[in-house]
Amino acid sequence: MLEKNFGKVVDDVLGGEDQPQSPPVHNIDIKIDVPTGFRLEGDSMGLAMLLAAISALSEVPIERGVAVTGAINHYGDVLAVDFVNKKIEGWFRICKQNGLTGEQGVIIPKGNEKDLNLGEEIIEAVRNQQFHVYAVQNVDQALEIVTDLPAEQVNERVRKALERDPENK
């Protein structure tokens, strides 16, 4: 069981850079059960976990065909991670086995663009818009990709959900 208090991250991301040192206003505990034998890579899950939390709080579903990797900081910046090529290749293989639809892809940190060294098959699929590699700098950019909505609209739904819940004040 991984346990992480996302209160500070959510407050900083929703509050913007105007209040980078503010104490958390919301107490949000996210608990994620990881199946036995599942290999974790630490900070690489940060962006995916935050997007899942935002989706749950906003009640806005996220696109299931888009894999996500990236570490995050308290300002909502997406930070580079290790093994980005292997992650893209692995997700591409799964998508190809299930049939490429043009809707699948992977979100990676913009800082990893320089590390990309993908095989010709993936490059061709991207070129033909059958698979996508999205490089993002911040959480809002990733949120817009996985929800197909403006980030501010989703973030406003999170704010309203937190205001309705007296446990999170």
C-beta of residue 147 within 8 angstroms of C-beta of residue 154: yes
Q: Which residues of the chain have pLDDT under 70?
A: 1-42, 165-169
**Dist. CA 49–CA 117, nearest whole Å:** 26
Q: Quote the pLDDT of residue 5.
A: 45
The pLDDT assigned to 36 comes to: 53
For the segment 120-153, what is each residue's pLDDT rounded down to a tens digit? Answer: 999 999 999 999 999 999 999 999 999 999 999 9
Please pick, among 4, 8, 44, 110, the residue that the annotation labels catalytic.
44
pLDDT mean across residues, the chain: 82
Q: Supply the pLDDT for residue 166.
A: 56
Residue of 47, 44, 40 lying closest to 62 (CA atoms): 47
Whether residue 44 lies in the annotated active site: yes
Which fold would CATH assign to domain 2-168?
Answer: Ribosomal Protein S5; domain 2 (3.30.230)
pTM here? 0.79
Residue 22, helix vs strand vs coil = coil
Catalytic residue among 31, 87, 160, 169: 87
CA nearest to 59, candidates 141, 160, 166: 160
